[in-house]
Amino acid sequence: MLIDLSGKTALVTGSTQGIGFAIAAGLARAGARVAVNGRREESVVAAIAKLEGAADGGGTFVPAPGDITTEDGAQQVTAAVPDVDILINNLGIFGAVPALEISDDEWRRYFEVNVLAAVRMIRAYLPAMKSRSWGRIMNVASDSAVVIPAEMIHYGMSKTALLAVTRGFAKEAAGSGVTVNSLIAGPTHTGGVEEFVYELVDSSLPWDEAQREFMAKHRPQSLLQRLIEPEEIANMAVYLSSPLASATTGGAVRVDGGYVDSILP
């Protein structure tokens, strides 16, 4: 299966590390020109240096710094990359908080970062995609959208909302040649997740033992029985970004390691 994204421009939000970084690398390997986004210019420049090093000079990357959780920050990004063919809304936050201790401000913050920022970027780029009769929009959701975790229901709520946003904008793009999908990522091995794991298990354990204990105690329904690597999420993101995925839209596509115990999301 040959995926060729030559001539396409992609924007991956929150792509200086973790899943977003891996998706940016995967899109570049497929030939896309990739805009890398983070809140701070220095982190974006550092990420591009790593991406270029890993690609041995074969990738084309564009800095697009800006805090897209604000209107000014989003305008900064769209000024850096006025037109994109592929929009990957990856930016997100998570953290464990007891249900009755989640404040109003935290509920709002999770909605604004994990949901409204994606909406803002879709509004910015979808009209031009529709006018060109081609585009790919993907919102990186989570298994937590379907299996709400007791230790972070505010996060689960935001990812469930993102599934609804995806379905709604897919209807807005109906018949235009633009596809809009969610990617349901399962428990994934990133730096932030390592910190999260150690919040829930003995912090003195070596990483391999800590990961096994976390999966056994807190994510026992995973059929992989391990954390997913970011590159595994990126592989699906690259496919959904390609012309080969032209008949997949309005969907919640699972890369969850079998975590969600249902036939459909």
At 83, which amino acid appears? Answer: D
Which residue carries 């990126």 as its tokens? 234
Q: Which helix (H) or strand (E) holds 13?
A: none
Q: Which helix (H) or strand (E) holds 222?
A: none
Dmax (CA) for the chain in angstroms is 55
Q: Which helix (H) or strand (E) holds 134?
A: none
φ, ψ dihedrals at 253, nearest 5°: -90, 125
**Alpha helical stretches, state H, the chain:** 18-29, 41-54, 71-80, 104-111, 117-132, 153-172, 191-200, 207-218, 230-240
With 0-12 / 13-18 / 19 or more C-beta atoms within 10 angstroms meaning exposed / middle / buried, residue 58 is: exposed
Active site residue 155: yes
Listing DSSP states for 21-62 in one string gives: HHHHHHHHHTT-EEEE--SSHHHHHHHHHHHHHHTTT--EEE
Judge whether 81 and 62 are in contact, CB under 8 Å.
yes
Instruction: Spot the catalytic one: 125, 155, 198, 239.
Output: 155
Q: Is 228 left (phi over 0), alpha (psi -120 to 50) or beta?
A: beta
Catalytic machinery residues: 155
